[in-house]
Structure 1
């Protein structure tokens, strides 16, 4: 299925071949003519591929032809990328290199004559292979389509997101489940109510409607939401439950033993009437369930557990009694059609197209009452009024393929096929993300940019802006859920079936490797290893572009072998590994764009060769608590856009960082020896700054970072929160997102915040135990969409003019006893101030 990505690959390569950097480098090396020949053949192949992508070929011969093209494209991409690497290397040598280093470079394999001969040979080979497959295009009856005529429509964000509370056809189900939850039987044992049904029916959405209902709020003292998924290990579930509760002390439950976890949870739940939602449960092992239930069965009478599961066996095992299980039925055709029309047309426009409505009814019928399928197809047809487009979905042969009774992949695959080519690789990358985790645009931009999935940004636009634009389009296609806009960054989840589709359509190019994996595809390019049982290194292809190691990886031989053999890596992810050092040969990975060493708690040093990775865009080593210092030559990493740091050295190499003229995101974590930052330097392009757990940091010159869009400061108790700003002197005019947490010195809102209230989208205050009041000028936040205030117990009320925050979509309050009481829906003294907000989470519950 990875053949569907070929059009995007062709477009990306053609764009690179036309870029100024490649043009200039090819002229210098003397292979410009060969590259122009490659570009011409690529244009020809793209014309065939556009037809193949629309026809969705099924013949084995055509599929093999497309696989050959895929392999050639991958090799061509490596060659073109080599030119970009060489141009950048020469720039760094000329700028930073000494005379001796220039001599060493000249007599190395980068000698201009040797380099020219090698590249000319490789390009000639690629051109011969491209010419051969291009000549075969007519054999398969493919037409040459020079322009992708499929229209792309984008809605404004105000029309994009269906509010979870605005769910069609489930009000009756919601009331039935609430009735089961609030009724107190005579049984003193913990009552369990499973919602059971096939994937895509909306079990999780229904559970959220119930969970956020005001009547349910008033019935339970504690509410907890846990997404369980495939891992029902006791320790893992206990950690998730504890993390779903208010945590004023900021305890790190991941570091606790199981005995400590169960004692902590039992103490919290003891004699409390609670509601626990266990979402997406697959476990059918009764012993595991009984072990968990015994631990949490300490609450007050009337405590309940609400479970969502696809498995009837799981539901039967967990339910308290047969009558407590709630099978969720499919939507009626009428309700399904209502959802479809809502997503396929602007409000009221459907009346102009009665012929499309008739076709729409037939499409909805094929979705057999499954909301996820209806939403996906309805979104894909938004504002498209060409009758043939609607008929092509209705008559698509995918519907006729053999399917399981509960299979909705055809509807989602059709929606995927209708994505514009530039979005397909981005969607495909979701297969590498773990299931049931919240994803941020911060994560997406790293992966997409490293793999070359993002086009160059427009004027005054960053790569983060491009990624956010793509995410908005995927949201409009109903592929993303629980979407939260924090200004500069977005956070969202994937429905597990959408993740399944991503895995399905990328088979052969993207692969998740489990210990039970019987085979690794010989042409796979992107790999995540899920468990610390590493595959035979001889079976791992050397053409990899992505390699993600498992949790607590320790095999040094495997790491050294992969780094030395996989020379075309763009992404190397070693998060949460346990290596004490990195191979010195890592400096030879000249194509590497993304290197993550997050939470390598045993890592003591970084090799100096790391500074030879001039193409590196993102370097993350926060949480490396034993790392003594940053390599001296880090300033040579001139392509860096994101840098995340943990180091024990007292002096931060600020002048080196100032040389990183493309740096947009900078994070400090656990740099306990830092005393001051940014004295006498300017980081004009920096857009995002995070400073966490830097306990000795006293001063921070924010005049050095005047163009910030995102600012997060946490657990820096000695930091002067005036930021060197006196009176009305405000250094920020672009801030979209601000988070301040665990700052005991904070008593009132920092005055400098007032100067950015007309740009701020997201404002978060966590664990500020001495924060006493919210200012009246908070109401001037005309763009504010998200306000979260957690564990600020001295806050007593909201300002009177909160109703002026007309764009506020999400308000979360927890760990603020008096404020929570005043904000209870309907009865609280401050409820009238916040009742206009779409999503309000109060009474110590938050998501």
Structure 2
């Protein structure tokens, strides 16, 4: 995507930026780099032009960083860097010497899909505030000793689908505001190096979206679920609770201990295979605007969503044992006496083959011949927008 700026606006921006900022392309030369230049956006092949300069910001336009000399130059000649953007440049390795950039505050490695690991020395950059890792598909683990990054406030790592666990000590980063996902260690294969779910306990400044993966592998689940302390995370807007295939039996585990704060706007529960009882705290989430419940699970009915006044999107998928959306009709049997989805704009019901009706009929009606057209069978699905 490209944008065209009016010539007058371009001239104005250059005037405001002064000599401390430069944007260089492949046609640029060393003579165009002012001695006082501190903030640069440039192709990586032009990096040697800045030798001897005390750069504070380095953003890239294009070019790859696969050649070791680029890293060597940056680490040896750009020690004053505060901002380093290396996103989407096919970077597959970060050198151990990265810790020498002690002034670095903002480090963007996002969308480097072949990057598999970050060196332990990354945790020595104690001034680091932002470490962006979104879209690093092959990344398998975060830096060890991560608790040393005491100033870290943002660790976006969405779409890092190969992450196997969270490093032990991450719970000490109490200033953390962004943590896209928390991955529970499967089978305990990383031993003491992996953080338990309880390390979420003190991370109460988290905001935005949090996805918790592999919940089915949590040991001593009742204690760990409660210790995650989700109900104290008042700034979270979106929460995804995700179980995984191949985990042990969830029958003795309960969603009850995973209660989020009532400020939550979006909730997704995926793959829960435990008891068929929905948690009691659900009625307290009065600010929900979006709900997604995705199986497989044993739910035969769901709590009342219809009276959630802010609910705009509802998605129910792969609940093969679901028979009724709600266990009982509105009080007095008068379905029009209370607002029914007053804000709903999207309803999606998919792969619910045993769904019979929205409301479960009263026992007195079970013997009557009911042919009012309310019963249904949804095997493939419906999707409605209003």
Q: TM-score by structure 2 length?
A: 0.61
**Cα contact 1:652–1:674 (8 A) shared by 2:** no
2 CA distance for matches of 1:695 and 1:507?
A: 52
Of 698, 704, 708 in structure 1, the residue corresponding to residue 228 of structure 2 is 704
* Aligned counterparts, 1:112-131, within 5 A: none
Q: CA deviation at 1:712?
A: 1.9
1 CA distance for matches of 2:128 and 2:253?
A: 32
- Note the alpha carbon deviations across 1:90-112, whole angstroms, 9 max, x for none: xxxxxxxxxxxxxxxxxxxxxxx
1 CA distance for matches of 2:253 and 2:37?
A: 50
1 CA distance for matches of 2:239 and 2:118?
A: 28
Q: Which residue of 2 aligns with 1:581?
A: 93
Q: Which residue of 1 aligns with 2:346?
A: 811
**Cα contact 1:575–1:600 (8 A) shared by 2:** yes
Does residue 590 (structure 1) correspond to residue 125 (structure 2)? The answer is no
- Note the alpha carbon deviations across 1:368-407, whole angstroms, 9 max, x for none: xxxxxxxxxxxxxxxxxxxxxxxxxxxxxxxxxxxxxxxx
Q: Which residue of 1 aligns with 2:179?
A: 666
Does residue 685 (structure 1) correspond to residue 213 (structure 2)? The answer is no
1 CA distance for matches of 2:23 and 2:347?
A: 36
Q: Which residue of 1 aligns with 2:286?
A: 758
* Aligned counterparts, 1:91-490, within 5 A: none
Q: CA deviation at 1:610?
A: 1.6
Does residue 789 (structure 1) correspond to residue 308 (structure 2)? The answer is no
Q: Which residue of 2 aligns with 1:733?
A: 261
Q: Which residue of 1 aligns with 2:368?
A: none
**Cα contact 2:278–2:302 (8 A) shared by 1:** no
Q: CA deviation at 1:637?
A: 0.9
Does residue 538 (structure 1) correspond to residue 51 (structure 2)? The answer is no
Look up the SS of the partner of 1:701 in the other structure. Answer: helix
- Note the alpha carbon deviations across 1:657-712, whole angstroms, 9 max, x for none: 23222123323377764658324773252434633664873345243333222322
Aligned pair in 2 of structure 1 residues 790, 615: CA closer, same or farther (>3 Å)? farther
Q: Which residue of 2 aligns with 1:368?
A: none
**Cα contact 2:140–2:164 (8 A) shared by 1:** no
**Cα contact 2:225–2:258 (8 A) shared by 1:** no
Look up the SS of the partner of 2:306 in the other structure. Answer: helix
- Note the alpha carbon deviations across 1:214-262, whole angstroms, 9 max, x for none: xxxxxxxxxxxxxxxx5xxxxxxxxxxxxxxxxxxxxxxxxxxxxxxxx
Aligned pair in 2 of structure 1 residues 639, 583: CA closer, same or farther (>3 Å)? same
Aligned pair in 2 of structure 1 residues 673, 810: CA closer, same or farther (>3 Å)? same
Q: Which residue of 1 aligns with 2:151?
A: 639
1 CA distance for matches of 2:151 and 2:46?
A: 34
Q: Which has the higher strand share?
A: 2
**Cα contact 1:781–1:805 (8 A) shared by 2:** yes
Unaligned runs of 5+ in 1: 1-229, 231-434, 436-495, 823-828, 831-841
2 CA distance for matches of 1:690 and 1:671?
A: 13
Look up the SS of the partner of 1:765 in the other structure. Answer: strand
Q: CA deviation at 1:582?
A: 1.6
Q: Which has the larger radius of gyration?
A: 1
Look up the SS of the partner of 1:547 in the other structure. Answer: strand
**Cα contact 1:572–1:594 (8 A) shared by 2:** yes
Aligned pair in 2 of structure 1 residues 705, 537: CA closer, same or farther (>3 Å)? same
Aligned pair in 2 of structure 1 residues 788, 575: CA closer, same or farther (>3 Å)? farther
**Cα contact 1:627–1:648 (8 A) shared by 2:** yes
**Cα contact 1:674–1:694 (8 A) shared by 2:** no
Unaligned runs of 5+ in 2: 189-194, 327-334, 358-372, 375-381
Q: Which residue of 2 aligns with 1:296?
A: none
**Cα contact 2:89–2:112 (8 A) shared by 1:** yes
Q: CA deviation at 1:754?
A: 1.0
2 CA distance for matches of 1:701 and 1:500?
A: 57
Look up the SS of the partner of 1:595 in the other structure. Answer: strand
**Cα contact 1:793–1:816 (8 A) shared by 2:** yes
Q: Which residue of 1 aligns with 2:377?
A: none
**Cα contact 2:165–2:185 (8 A) shared by 1:** no
Q: Which residue of 1 aligns with 2:302?
A: 775
2 CA distance for matches of 1:722 and 1:500?
A: 67
Q: CA deviation at 1:587?
A: 1.7
**Cα contact 1:554–1:578 (8 A) shared by 2:** yes
**Cα contact 1:766–1:791 (8 A) shared by 2:** yes
RMSD between superposed Cα atoms in Å: 5.1
**Cα contact 1:672–1:695 (8 A) shared by 2:** no
1 CA distance for matches of 2:226 and 2:8?
A: 45
1 CA distance for matches of 2:293 and 2:12?
A: 41
**Cα contact 1:686–1:705 (8 A) shared by 2:** no
2 CA distance for matches of 1:723 and 1:704?
A: 15
Q: Which residue of 2 aligns with 1:566?
A: 78
**Cα contact 2:109–2:132 (8 A) shared by 1:** yes
Aligned residue pairs, count:
326
**Cα contact 1:603–1:624 (8 A) shared by 2:** yes
Aligned pair in 2 of structure 1 residues 767, 685: CA closer, same or farther (>3 Å)? closer
1 CA distance for matches of 2:28 and 2:284?
A: 52
2 CA distance for matches of 1:788 and 1:558?
A: 49
- Note the alpha carbon deviations across 1:101-147, whole angstroms, 9 max, x for none: xxxxxxxxxxxxxxxxxxxxxxxxxxxxxxxxxxxxxxxxxxxxxxx
Aligned pair in 2 of structure 1 residues 545, 650: CA closer, same or farther (>3 Å)? closer
- Note the alpha carbon deviations across 1:611-651, whole angstroms, 9 max, x for none: 22222222244665665654443211111223356698977
Q: CA deviation at 1:528?
A: 5.3
2 CA distance for matches of 1:630 and 1:773?
A: 40
- Note the alpha carbon deviations across 1:44-70, whole angstroms, 9 max, x for none: xxxxxxxxxxxxxxxxxxxxxxxxxxx
